[in-house]
């Protein structure tokens, strides 16, 4: 194992799921985050914004990090319904997902919007989890690598480093579908992301940036996906709503 290999991160993206009663899921995750697992992998949960404060309070002492799922680029102002990165940090978040494909698709977010949000995350002291990934049409047209590299160049701010940036490769066609790319395809895209990161954060820091794979990660396929070169963890949607599944995915790192 290379000395540069970063500590893996398994992050749960709850999306628009979870009420106060979901604290139970978080408590189960805490209970299962044993010292043995903690030694191998970092865990984060990104609940809906309404639960961040409560989740952060519950997580004190458990070392499960809490994250937001989106933020506004501005610090404050007349933006009804939006939340700033500073608000997420104030509520106890240390991560925020930006540029998730559902934001890009349903809220028409472009790379420059995603970049501005990542800048805001850094300004607030948060680590930005910047999502990139091709659609099925783009993959079938042989454009997956070009699309991902372009998204990365447009979405990763210049002040990024291995502490404040995590990249998540999430092929759009794999999200919530039960489909996953082959290990070889994941390896190819993650290697391309690593190369691009050399230009974006510098040669010395690029090997330390966590590159997560996301899209239909389950306990049954996690070990294979997490073993792929340059895969430093997972961004998990559906399976993160069930503590046993989320912990089962993280358990891939127990070997
Ligand atoms: P999924 O979602 O694990 O349900 O496919 C992943 C994501 O959208 O982050």
CA distance 151 to 130: 10
Write down the domain spans for the chain.
9-254
Residue 92 labelled as part of a binding site: no
Higher pLDDT, 66 or 255: 66
Q: For 176-195, give one letter per residue: b (16+ CB within 10 A) or e.
A: eeeebbebeebbbbbebbbe
pLDDT band at residue 5 under the 50/70/90 scheme: confident
Question: Does the annotation mark 170 as catalytic?
Answer: yes
Best of 12, 17, 70, 214 for a ligand 1 pocket test (most atoms within 8 Å of beta carbon) = 214
pLDDT of 255 over the 90 cut: no
pLDDT of 69 over the 70 cut: yes
CA distance 196 to 200: 6
3 state SS of 169 = strand
pLDDT band at residue 4 under the 50/70/90 scheme: low
Q: Which residues line ligand 1 (CB under 6 A)?
A: 13, 170, 175-176, 214-217, 235-239
Mean pLDDT for 15-39 is 96
Do 130 and 117 contact (CB within 8 A), yes or no?
no
3 state SS of 53 = helix
Mean pLDDT for 29-40 is 96
Which atom of ligand 1 approaches the CA of 236 most closely?
A: 3
The confidence score (pLDDT) of residue 16 equals: 98
pLDDT band at residue 238 under the 50/70/90 scheme: very high
pLDDT of 42 over the 60 cut: yes
Dihedral (C-alpha) 199, 191, 165, 160: value to the nearest 10 degrees?
0
Q: Tell me how crowded residue 108 is: count the other CB atoms within 10 A of its CB.
A: 8
Report H helices in 141-218.
Answer: 144-155, 183-201
203 Cα to the center of ligand 1, angstroms: 30
Question: Taking the chain, what is the end-to-end CA distance rounded to the nearest angstrom?
Answer: 14
101 Cα to the center of ligand 1, angstroms: 10
62 Cα to the center of ligand 1, angstroms: 24
Mean pLDDT for 83-107 is 98
The architecture (CATH level 2) of 9-254 comes to Alpha-Beta Barrel (3.20)
DSSP 8-state secondary structure symbol assigned to residue 126: P
Best of 47, 67, 136, 216 for a ligand 1 pocket test (most atoms within 8 Å of beta carbon) = 216
Q: What is the DSSP string of 83-100?
A: -BHHHHHHHT--EEEES-
Mean pLDDT of the chain: 96
Of 72, 100, 122, 190, which residue is the catalytic one? 100
- Reported as a single tens digit per residue, the pLDDT across 174-230 is 999 999 999 999 999 999 999 999 999 999 999 999 999 999 999 999 999 999 999
Question: Using alpha carbons only, what angle is made at residue 49 by residues 45 and 221, rounded to the nearest 5 degrees?
Answer: 30
Q: Which residues pair with 235 in a beta bridge?
A: 11, 214
Phi, psi of 85 (to 5 degrees): -60, -35
The confidence score (pLDDT) of residue 7 equals: 97
- Reported as a single tens digit per residue, the pLDDT across 130-168 is 999 999 999 999 999 999 999 999 999 999 999 999 999
73 Cα to the center of ligand 1, angstroms: 24
pLDDT band at residue 1 under the 50/70/90 scheme: very low
């Amino acid at each position: 194992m290379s000395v540069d290999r970063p500590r893996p991160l398994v992050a749960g993206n709850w999306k628009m799921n979870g009420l106060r009663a979901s604290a139970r899921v978080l408590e189960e995750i805490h209970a299962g985050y044993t010292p043995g697992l903690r030694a191998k992998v970092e865990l984060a949960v990104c609940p809906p914004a309404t639960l961040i404060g409560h989740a952060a309070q519950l997580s004190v002492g458990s070392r499960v990090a809490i994250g937001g799922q989106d933020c506004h680029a501005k610090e404050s102002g007349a933006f009804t319904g939006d939340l700033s990165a500073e608000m997420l940090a104030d509520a106890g978040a240390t991560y925020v997902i930006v540029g998730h494909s559902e934001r890009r698709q349903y809220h028409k977010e472009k790379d420059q919007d995603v970049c501005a949000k990542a800048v805001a995350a850094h300004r607030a002291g948060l680590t930005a989890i910047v999502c990139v990934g091709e659609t099925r049409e783009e993959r079938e047209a042989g454009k997956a690598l070009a699309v991902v590299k372009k998204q990365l160049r447009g979405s990763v701010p210049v002040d990024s480093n291995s502490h404040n940036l995590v990249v998540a490769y999430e092929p759009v066609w794999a999200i919530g579908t039960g489909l996953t790319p082959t290990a070889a395809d994941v390896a190819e895209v993650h290697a391309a992301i690593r190369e691009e990161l050399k230009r974006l954060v510098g040669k010395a820091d690029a090997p330390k940036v966590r590159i997560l794979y996301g899209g239909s990660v389950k306990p049954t396929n996690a070990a294979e996906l997490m073993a792929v070169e340059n895969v430093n963890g997972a961004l998990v949607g559906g399976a993160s709503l069930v503590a046993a599944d989320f912990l089962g995915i993280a358990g891939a790192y127990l070997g």
